[in-house]
């Protein structure tokens, strides 16, 4: 009897302690780890795959943490981390598996901070966007600087997104104020979209993400938009986005909470004996504007910002691309606080709901003027409301005039102060009054802000947009 009891205890012990091990998990093990986390935390997680697998048919797995997995809830911002977009840059992939395991364990241990975070945020982790590249890199020893970087069609996925920078820069030159959700204005693709890119684009366009980071390796720095220079030339020149202040703060949040990303005394990654000819990002606080480092077209972070409401930065997590297995746990300890601090930034700035007497208003435009200094500074990048009329406007501490607008309604403005050290965004709701209560036919009063513009070949653009969205949304046809 005692023997039976003992062996029963042993079985229980073994099943209950599928202990997470720091190692390089292959593509099968990756999905098993996510399933194990889900079994340990069934009520706050969901494992799903993106709509298309990789070229070699490996599913792109995501684990989601939320108190109602599978559903967007108003007032709860959505955050994502994307790892392993370059197949031979492997640390992000293992950190995200470790983070999934950690969030679940701490939740079950009733860690107050983790519980609050999960109850107020929907968090999506995609450990590997490029499982084929990971396989090639791993099979060839993982030491080459380039082998395994691309997908199985030899395409660099972080150059394969539609180049929306070129559109926003052209609008800037022409003085056109239209500055968000620019996929509609795309007239051509520089290259066909890869299945991994298409899958991630659909994901980005269908979930109302607020904040995101993509993980790379090869240097140690938090890199923020724009990645593309305004001239489009492959030069190194600072290319500020309208949200430069906010992006700098997001990048600094990660760098400062990391063990030594922002350390001014650490050596640079590729420094020669005299430290010449190489960047030492520690000396600039562990952050850089993307194009100030080097300009690239078709990157994922600028696409997030210019196609959706999401703010994405790019994390270079270490000098080595294929981190040795024995250093993975040490790297987790060096990154853990930063990974969590960054997610908390989804709760900075202001958020709220735009509605009228009959319900939520979707696609209302939230525009912001920074009135902190003596001269008001409009932030020329508007945010739009989602299905519940909800919006999330990341901002740095200061004073702002926030305006909600929608065709057919009178705009409403509010003055808001964003405090320092937020763990919850300021709630600013808007109730709009329709102009139809004043005019019989408001459409004739020119109240549509993004109407047709002279000289724009709108029909062709619409046509491409329809082709593109059909291809993105109706994935049944894409196999």
The residues of the shown chain that bind Zn ion, judged by CB under 5 A, are: 86, 89, 216
Q: Rounded to 5 degrees, what angle do the CA atoms 467, 473, 475 make?
A: 100
Biggest distance spanned by C-alpha atoms of the chain: 87
Residue closer to Zn ion (CB basis): 93 or 216: 216
Residue closer to Zn ion (CB basis): 225 or 349: 225
Nearest-approach distance from CB 85 to Zn ion, in angstroms = 6
CA dihedral 73, 78, 84, 85 (to 10 degrees): 100
Using DSSP's 3-state secondary structure scheme, residue 431 falls into strand
Q: What are the start-end ranges of the H helices in 179-299?
A: 195-206, 244-257, 290-293
Nearest-approach distance from CB 25 to Zn ion, in angstroms = 19
Nearest-approach distance from CB 200 to Zn ion, in angstroms = 15
Nearest-approach distance from CB 290 to Zn ion, in angstroms = 12
Give me Rg for the CA atoms of the chain.
Answer: 23
Which of 302, 280, 306 has its CA nearest to residue 293? 280
Query: What are the E-state strand segments in 149-273?
Result: 209-216, 219-224
Helix, strand, coil tally for the chain in percent (to 5) = 35, 20, 45
Instruction: List, by residue number, the catalytic residues.
Output: 316
Nearest-approach distance from CB 266 to Zn ion, in angstroms = 20
**Residue nearest Zn ion by beta-carbon distance:** 216
Q: Is the peptide bond before 226 cis (omega within 30 degrees of 0)?
A: yes
Residue closer to Zn ion (CB basis): 86 or 351: 86
Residue closer to Zn ion (CB basis): 84 or 355: 84
- CB burial of 164-197 (b: ≥16 within 10 Å; e: otherwise) equals bbbbbbebeeeeeebbbbbbbbbeeeeeebbbbb
Residue closer to Zn ion (CB basis): 89 or 382: 89
Nearest-approach distance from CB 160 to Zn ion, in angstroms = 13
Phi and psi, residue 295, nearest 5°: -80, 135
Residue closer to Zn ion (CB basis): 216 or 381: 216
């Amino acid at each position: 009897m005692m023997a039976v009891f003992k062996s029963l205890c042993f079985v229980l012990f073994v099943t209950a302690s599928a202990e997470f091990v720091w190692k390089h998990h292959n593509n099968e093990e990756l999905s098993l780890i996510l399933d194990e986390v889900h079994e340990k935390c069934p009520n706050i997680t969901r494992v799903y795959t993106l709509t298309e697998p990789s070229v070699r048919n490996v599913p792109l797995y995501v684990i989601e943490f939320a108190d109602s997995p599978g559903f967007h809830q108003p007032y709860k911002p959505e955050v994502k981390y994307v790892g392993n977009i370059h197949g031979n840059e492997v640390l992000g992939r293992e950190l995200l598996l470790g983070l999934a395991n950690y969030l679940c364990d701490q939740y079950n241990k009733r860690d107050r901070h983790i519980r609050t975070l999960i109850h107020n945020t929907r968090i999506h982790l995609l450990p590997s966007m490029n499982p084929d590249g990971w396989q090639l890199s791993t099979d060839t020893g993982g030491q080459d600087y380039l082998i395994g970087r691309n997908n199985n069609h030899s395409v660099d996925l972080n150059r394969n997104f539609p180049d929306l920078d070129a559109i926003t820069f052209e609008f800037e030159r022409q003085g056109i104020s239209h500055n968000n959700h620019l996929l509609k204005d795309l007239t051509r693709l520089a290259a066909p979209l890869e299945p991994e890119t298409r899958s991630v684009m659909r994901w980005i366009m269908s979930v109302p993400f607020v904040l995101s980071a993509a993980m790379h390796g090869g240097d140690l720095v938090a890199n923020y938009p724009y990645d593309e220079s305004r001239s489009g030339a492959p030069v190194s020149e600072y290319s500020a986005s309208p949200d430069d202040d906010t992006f700098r703060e997001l990048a600094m949040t990660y760098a400062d909470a990391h063990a030594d990303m922002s350390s001014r005394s650490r050596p640079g990654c590729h420094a020669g004996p005299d430290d010449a000819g190489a960047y030492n990002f520690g000396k600039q606080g562990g952050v850089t504007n993307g194009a100030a480092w080097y300009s690239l077209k078709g990157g994922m972070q600028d696409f997030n910002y210019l196609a959706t409401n999401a703010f994405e930065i790019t994390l270079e997590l270490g000098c080595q691309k294929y981190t040795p297995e024995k250093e993975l746990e040490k790297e987790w300890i060096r990154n853990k606080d930063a990974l969590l601090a960054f997610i908390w930034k989804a709760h900075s700035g202001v958020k709220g709901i735009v509605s009228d007497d009959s319900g939520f208003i979707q696609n209302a435009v939230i525009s912001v003027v920074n009135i902190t200094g003596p001269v008001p500074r409009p932030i020329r990048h508007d945010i739009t409301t989602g299905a519940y009329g909800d919006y999330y406007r990341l901002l740095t501490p200061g004073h702002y005039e926030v305006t909600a607008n929608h065709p057919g309604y009178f705009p409403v403005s509010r003055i808001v102060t964003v405090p320092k050290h937020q763990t919850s965004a300021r709630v600013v709701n808007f109730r709009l009054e329709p102009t139809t209560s004043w005019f019989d036919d408001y459409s004739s009063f020119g109240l549509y802000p993004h109407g047709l513009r002279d000289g724009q070949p709108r029909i062709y653009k619409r046509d491409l947009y329809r082709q593109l969205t059909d291809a993105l949304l109706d994935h049944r046809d894409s196999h």
